């Protein structure tokens, strides 16, 4: 009887301890969150909004500045201020082309996200602490999958009519970058420990997107930038303490649907999957494509992004002229990749369909090492006209005189094959080979 009573007391003691620990963790988070909110609200108040010279709006009779004020007060998800006068003040921008204004805006937002990725990558390389850390992957993932949901204050230039439709730019000023971060912090839930996995994931997206936006601008654009990066680092650490799961996102090209089977359960492609920490096998199945199998592992707080390269199952046997230019012989590897996609490479230059792969390398001497940067261009031609092109720059790698030939050969093979696979899976092969 006495032992049973002691067991009950022990269990109650543990539960109370856990409850107190959770409350302390929640208090720490909210305290850090309030401090971050206050700091960025103060910075937002100190950040001037650009004031371009006012011009009359022929549709409303108001000046452009008055139109801007009305649009900003409307509270829409994106400020529909289509004013070229603001463009010189852009710190982040992306060009969009589409058949109509809506598709052009979505294209511009995607390119704006890419510009954030590029700026974040260049900034992270300057920080040894973050250079090889996992956050760079998370930042890129959140920008790809969440920026159109959480970005505020994005502006658009006036759409211009072109032969193919419309062209415009999406951009953010220094003011809108800070305003967006302030908005994200203000709308972040306080009851973080009681959130569902999906809602908690939104909080992670909020903090990583805030972090990435601040990293994407320069010190000259945001005064005392490092101070505010440190503030976000503290909040990020508090949020990650509450994570009990990891997630993975299998991304297939637009228009491709399918399932990802993990541990006997099927999930949709292009949708975040939340999992307990551990190692998993996966199988990707999509109608008209070969099955794709692989392995992965997730840890507590992990957020992985996997770009799925699907190979058509019955794509026929189409012949193309293939040329591969580069310092290292890669044509055999590229030919095998094309054959996997049902494409027969030949040296017949008179064929209507042609693929040209160009490998370029930049070499810099660093102490006893050589730093290599590989770049790959893939050009497709149809009846003498360009069909589509892509450019890819591989992250730098270092070689010595002892491993130079082997390392350059291996990296060139790996990169060129990966880029060609990615390229072929991204285009519509039926459209490419259509007469």
Which residues contact residue 233 at a Cβ distance below 8 angstroms, ignoring those fewer than 6 apart? Answer: 211
Distance from CA of residue 216 to its chain's centroid? 13
Whether 366 and 379 have beta carbons less than 8 Å apart is answered as: no
Residue 158: per-residue pLDDT: 87
**Three-state DSSP class for 236?**
helix
SS3 372: strand
Identify which has the larger pLDDT, 377 or 139: 377
What is the secondary structure of 276-308 as a DSSP string? Answer: -SEEEEEEEE-TTB--EEEEEEE-TT-EEEEE-
Q: Per-residue pLDDT averaged across 233-250, rounded?
A: 86
pLDDT at 262 over 90: yes
Q: Which two tokens stand for residue 43?
A: 């910075």
Average pLDDT over residues 109-125: 71
Model pLDDT, residue 285: 92
Quote the CA–CA distance of 365 and 377 in Å, as a whole number. Answer: 24
The larger pLDDT score, comparing residue 183 to residue 73, is at 183
What would the mean pLDDT of 186-211 be, rounded to a whole number?
A: 85
The torsion region of residue 263 among left (phi > 0), alpha (psi -120 to 50) and beta comes to left
Q: How confident is the model at residue 8 (pLDDT cuts 50, 70, 90)?
A: low
Q: What percent of the chain has pLDDT over 90?
A: 13
pLDDT band at 265 (very low <50, low <70, confident <90, very high): very high
Instruction: Encode pLDDT of 14-55 as tens digits.
Output: 444 444 444 555 788 899 999 999 999 888 888 877 766 554
Listed range (105-114, 117-126, 180-189, 334-343) with the worst mean pLDDT: 117-126
Q: Report the distance separating Cα 363 and Cα 181, nearest Å.
A: 39
- Residue 273, pLDDT above cutoff 70: yes
What are the pLDDT digits (tens) for 57-99? 444 444 444 434 433 433 344 444 445 667 778 888 888 888 8
Q: How many helices (H) and strands (E) does the chain have?
A: 11, 17
β-strands 318-325, 353-366: how paired? parallel
Q: Tell me, what's the pLDDT at 259? A: 93
* Confidence tier at 214 by pLDDT (50, 70, 90): confident
pLDDT interval class at 424 (50, 70, 90)? confident
Give the chain's domains with CATH numbers. Answer: 26-49+62-241 (no CATH), 246-307 (2.60.40.1120), 318-433 (3.30.160.150)
Average pLDDT over residues 185-189: 91
Average pLDDT value for residue range 346-362:
90
Report the C-alpha gap between 374 and 43 in whole angstroms.
41
Residue (of 400, 137, 111) closest to 248 by Cα position: 137
User: Tens of pLDDT along 304-319?
Assistant: 888 888 888 766 678 9
Q: For the chain, first and last CA: distance in Å?
A: 87
Q: Which of 170, 207, 171 is nearest to 187 (CA)?
A: 207
Least confident segment among 319-328, 337-346, 351-360, 366-375 = 366-375
Q: What is the pLDDT of residue 429?
A: 82
- What is the rounded average pLDDT of the residues 366-380? 85
Q: Which residues contact 388 (CB under 8 A, 6 or more apart)?
A: 380, 423, 427
pLDDT classification of 118: cutoffs 50, 70, 90: low
- Rounded to the nearest integer, the mean pLDDT of the chain is 78
Q: Give φ, ψ of 206 to 5 degrees.
A: -60, -45
């Amino acid at each position: 009887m006495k032992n049973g009573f002691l067991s009950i007391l022990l269990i109650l003691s543990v539960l109370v301890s856990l409850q107190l620990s959770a409350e302390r963790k929640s208090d720490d988070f909210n305290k850090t969150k309030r401090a971050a909110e206050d700091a960025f609200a103060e910075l937002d108040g100190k950040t001037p909004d650009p004031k371009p010279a006012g011009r009359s709006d022929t549709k409303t009779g108001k000046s452009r500045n008055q139109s801007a004020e009305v649009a900003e007060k409307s509270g829409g998800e994106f400020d529909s201020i289509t004013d070229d006068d603001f463009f010189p003040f852009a710190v982040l921008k992306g060009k969009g082309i589409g058949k109509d204004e809506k598709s052009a805006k979505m294209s511009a937002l995607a390119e704006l996200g890419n510009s954030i990725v590029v700026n974040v990558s260049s900034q992270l390389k300057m920080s040894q602490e973050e250079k090889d850390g996992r956050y760079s992957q998370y930042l890129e993932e959140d920008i790809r999958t969440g920026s159109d949901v959480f970005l505020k204050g994005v502006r658009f230039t006036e759409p211009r009519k072109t032969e193919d439709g419309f062209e415009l730019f999406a951009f953010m000023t220094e003011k809108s970058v800070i305003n967006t971060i302030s908005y994200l912090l203000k709308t972040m839930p306080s009851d973080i420990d009681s959130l569902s996995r999906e809602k908690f994931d939104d909080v992670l997206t909020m903090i990583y997107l805030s972090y990435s936006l601040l990293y994407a601008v320069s010190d000259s654009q945001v005064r005392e930038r490092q101070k505010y990066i440190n503030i976000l680092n503290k909040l990020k650490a508090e949020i990650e303490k509450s994570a009990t799961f990891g997630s993975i996102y299998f991304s297939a090209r637009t228009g491709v649907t399918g399932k990802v089977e993990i541990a006997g359960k099927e999930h949709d492609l292009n949708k975040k999957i939340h999992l307990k920490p551990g190692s998993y096998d996966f199988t990707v199945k999509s109608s008209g494509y070969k099955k794709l199998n692989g392995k992965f592992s997730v840890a507590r707080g992990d957020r992985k992004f996997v770009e799925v390269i699907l190979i058509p199952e019955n794509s026929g046997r189409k012949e193309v002229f293939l040329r591969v230019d580069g310092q290292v012989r890669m044509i055999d590897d590229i030919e095998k990749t094309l054959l996997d996609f049902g494409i027969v490479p030949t040296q017949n230059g008179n064929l209507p369909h042609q693929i040209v792969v160009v490998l370029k390398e930049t070499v810099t001497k660093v102490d006893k090492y050589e730093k290599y940067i590989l770049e790959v261009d893939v050009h497709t031609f149809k009846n003498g006209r360009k069909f589509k092109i892509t450019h890819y720059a591989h992250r730098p790698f270092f070689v010595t005189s002892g491993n130079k030939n082997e390392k350059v050969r291996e990296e060139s093979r790996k990169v060129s094959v990966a880029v060609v696979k990615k390229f072929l899976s991204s285009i519509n092969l039926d459209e490419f080979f259509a007469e």
